[in-house]
Amino acid sequence: MGKKTFYITTPIYYMSNKLHIGNAYCTVVTDSMARYKKLRGYDVKFLTGTDDHGQKVERMAQKAGKTPQDFVDGLAELSKNLWDVMNCEYDIFMRTTQPFHIKACQKLFRTLYEKGDIYKAEYEGLYCIECETFFRPANVPDKLCLDCNRGLDTVREESYFFRQSKYADALLRHIEQNPDFIRPEFRKNEMVSFLKSGLEDIAVTRTTIKWGIPVDFDPKHVIYVWFDALPNYATALGLFGEDDTEYKKYWPADVHMVGKDILRFHTILWPAMLLALGEPLPKSIYGTGFLLSDGAKMSKSKGNVIDPIELTQKYGVDAVRYFLMREIALGQDGNCTELALVNRINADLANDLGNLLSRTVGMIDKYFAGEVPETQSRTSFDDSLTETCKSSAAKAAEAMDQLDFTEALTEIWAMIRRANKYVDETEPWVLHRNNEQGALARVLYMLAETLRHASILVSPVMPQASAEIFRQLGIYNDKLKSWDSLEFGKLPAKVNIEKGGTLFPRIDVKAALGGAEKENEPVPSLPQITIDDFAKLDLRVGIIKECEKASDKLLKSQIDIGGQTRQILSGIAEWYKPEDMVGKRVVVVTNLKPIKLRGFMSEGMILASGEGTGGSPVRLVTVEGDPPAGTGVR
Ligand code: MSP
């Protein structure tokens, strides 16, 4: 039996401008998913491309003093270059100006016309060139676009119409019967209410523009840009072309990744076209959120865009990919700032992952001249690390199957942090000092094996970093890089490392973001207090004895504060796992009035730094050494 297929697509981007990080986001998500599916053994097809037609493109070309074709060709080359830089490995680069697509679209149009699902009538309406969208006058009394708020043009002309209304009921039934058809769930509800409010037929040709695909049997009409663009996903595989082998093999698409602003075209117009043609519908359409800059959608026309090429040149491609996939929960909007990116690089990539690799490889080099010998019996620390690796891999896979890379990466990082903690617990330098070579070998093997797991799991998001980790661990056998090898202990006993450079260098925030600007920012402050005010706080060392999750955000800890145990709730579940809390010496405000949170009493507060916003993590204030519980803190 052949491999299972997986067909995933990005939107085809308008060639009216250079692409920005918001566009790149969609392609990076798609690429990560495509890579994940390849890793899981699927026969993957990944399409991206360019939407070359439309009135906006025509106008921009005119402004640039170029023919539309020259104009889009130039931008298409830039897009290809961007995907190379972002390490996005597409299989098909689709362009709507390709002759085979033009022919296929004309055939599709004719087929629907002959079937009676396209008919000619008089059209009167309002059109937004920016969004390439028609509106009914009744829906837009102030003649402003409902999406971008720009002024609308009045259009009155003879048009061909697509009988979309005919398919509303069938579409509603399909949505009900296929829970994954529109994701995320809350977007599905928006689309369903839109459908239920009544679907109208839609004008699908224009006589006033030239830059598009002419209707072959009535060439003064040019096909509406969305009616030409949506079928690209199928014509790229050969639908209405000369050879439809690939179409038969890969269609229906498994996922169309699209921005939430174009979800309606993909979940209503495109499926209605397919229903009219009698072709299968895509299995799933996922609407992603927007990358925001200071709370507003990043877009060329607003002039608030970040150039992805500049960003990758400054911070490296994998760091940018990691940031996009980790920071912005799929489906939600997310702020994209350089500061948040730098914080992620320093905390997650340099501190956690990079540090784990450099200390592991460094110790193997130092203590065993680059080769870890056979190992000895296991300890309870080993079991705990093995368990974490196993459960993190399983949970990460489950999350990636659902396209939830934020959750997947959180799980993978739980494993990486557990391994760093394991180093502190096992103290390899002490083992070396005491000449416990067997135990030391075991510790280093465990770390190398955890890193091999991490490298496999992060490879869809950070292919280069993953390759570098394998290289430094001396792993060249592809079997040991495969998903099937995610089993603790598969790494052969003898590890031959190849020490390399720093995986992710720490970034100096001031230098990267312009020190002067930051220095002038006032430090937020509260009114002065006296020492007597301060003395009102009863701060003590607390030792966390037990901890569990009380909600998505809250951890519930039992803390020994010297002679008594307090139950304290803290909003830190996003940054700490309950098992990582146990044993920590924290600073507790013991005389804070108890309150009830989520039905649990909280009798005090533990101190931590950071607000947890903009990507910067919350970090607990811990106490050095081992003072007994209850020791006063001044
Ligand atoms: N050409 C159409 C798509 C046709 S698909 C058959 C189009 N092109 S676009 O270039 O305007 O947008 C492409 C994608 O970029 C859309 O999914 C859109 O949501 C996405 N983004 C544009 N700005 C964005 C952000 N600021 N953030 C995230 N995605 C954004 O629409």
Each residue's pLDDT tens digit, 329-365: 999 999 999 999 999 999 999 999 999 999 999 999 9
Burial level of 470, CB count in 10 A (0-12/13-18/19+)?
buried
The secondary structure of 566-632 as a DSSP string is: EEEEES-TTT--HHHHTT-EEEEETTSPPEEETTEEE-SEE-EE----TTPPPEE-B-SS-PPTT-B
What's the gap in Å between 333 CA and the centre of ligand 1?
A: 14
Percentage of residues in the chain with pLDDT exceeding 90? Answer: 74
- Whether the bond between 252 and the residue before it is cis, its omega within 30 degrees of 0, is yes
What's the gap in Å between 586 CA and the centre of ligand 1?
A: 47
63 pLDDT more than 80: yes
Ligand 1 is surrounded, with C-beta below 6 A, by 11-14, 22-23, 25-26, 51, 229-230, 232, 258-259, 261-262, 290-291, 297-299
Predicted confidence at residue 523, as pLDDT, reads 47
Predicted confidence at residue 374, as pLDDT, reads 72
Query: Residue 258 CA: which ligand 1 atom is closest?
Result: 17
Q: Which tokens go with 413?
A: 């990082």
Count of C-beta atoms within a 10 Å radius of residue 529: 9
208 pLDDT more than 90: no
**Residues across the chain:** 634
509 pLDDT more than 80: yes
531 pLDDT more than 90: no
Predicted confidence at residue 299, as pLDDT, reads 77
Predicted confidence at residue 521, as pLDDT, reads 43
**Ligand 1 pocket, mutate which of 10, 13, 226 (most atoms under 8 A from CB):** 13
Count of C-beta atoms within a 10 Å radius of residue 87: 17
**Ligand 1 pocket, mutate which of 9, 15, 26, 291 (most atoms under 8 A from CB):** 26
Predicted confidence at residue 1, as pLDDT, reads 66
195 pLDDT more than 70: yes
Count of C-beta atoms within a 10 Å radius of residue 313: 12
Predicted confidence at residue 155, as pLDDT, reads 84
What's the gap in Å between 24 CA and the centre of ligand 1?
A: 9
Is the CB of residue 2 less than 8 Å from the CB of residue 43? Answer: yes
If you average pLDDT over residues 137-152, what whole number do you get? 88
512 pLDDT more than 80: yes
* Nearest by Cα to 401 from 92, 42, 89, 90: 42
Report d(CA 35, CA 420) in Å as an integer. Answer: 27
Report d(CA 461, CA 323) in Å as an integer. Answer: 10
What's the gap in Å between 13 CA and the centre of ligand 1?
A: 6
CA–CA distances in Å: residue 438 to residues 373, 377, 379, 391, 418: 8, 8, 12, 27, 22
Confidence of residue 517 (pLDDT cuts 50, 70, 90): very low
- Higher-pLDDT residue of 130, 302: 130
* pTM of the predicted protein model: 0.81
Confidence of residue 135 (pLDDT cuts 50, 70, 90): confident
Predicted confidence at residue 134, as pLDDT, reads 83
Query: What integer best gives the mean pLDDT of the chain?
Result: 92
What's the gap in Å between 300 CA and the centre of ligand 1?
A: 11
Is the CB of residue 264 less than 8 Å from the CB of residue 285? Answer: no
Sign of the torsion angle spanned by Cα atoms 96, 99, 101, 102: positive
52 pLDDT more than 70: yes
Sign of the torsion angle spanned by Cα atoms 233, 236, 242, 246: negative
Predicted confidence at residue 376, as pLDDT, reads 65
Is the CB of residue 444 less than 8 Å from the CB of residue 372? Answer: yes
* Nearest by Cα to 83 from 98, 94, 72: 94
Query: Residue 270 CA: which ligand 1 atom is closest?
Result: 6
pLDDT tens, residue by residue, 448-459:
999 999 999 999
What's the gap in Å between 71 CA and the centre of ligand 1?
A: 19
Residue nearest to atom 13 of ligand 1 (CA): 13
What's the gap in Å between 298 CA and the centre of ligand 1?
A: 11
If you average pLDDT over residues 26-55, what whole number do you get? 97
If you average pLDDT over residues 73-91, what whole number do you get? 98
pLDDT tens, residue by residue, 219-277:
999 999 999 999 999 999 999 999 999 999 999 999 999 999 999 999 999 999 999 99
Residue nearest to atom 15 of ligand 1 (CA): 23
What's the gap in Å between 11 CA and the centre of ligand 1?
A: 7
Report d(CA 573, CA 68) in Å as an integer. Answer: 53
Predicted confidence at residue 138, as pLDDT, reads 82
Query: 597: which residues sit within 8 A by CB, 6+ positions away?
Result: 550, 554, 569
Predicted confidence at residue 486, as pLDDT, reads 96
pLDDT tens, residue by residue, 287-325:
999 999 877 888 777 778 889 999 999 999 999 999 999
**Residue reference for tokens 């676009």:** 145
**Ligand 1 pocket, mutate which of 23, 75, 79 (most atoms under 8 A from CB):** 23
Most confident of the following: 133-142, 398-407, 518-527: 398-407
Confidence of residue 124 (pLDDT cuts 50, 70, 90): confident
pLDDT tens, residue by residue, 564-588:
899 999 989 888 899 889 999 999 9
What's the gap in Å between 549 CA and the centre of ligand 1?
A: 38
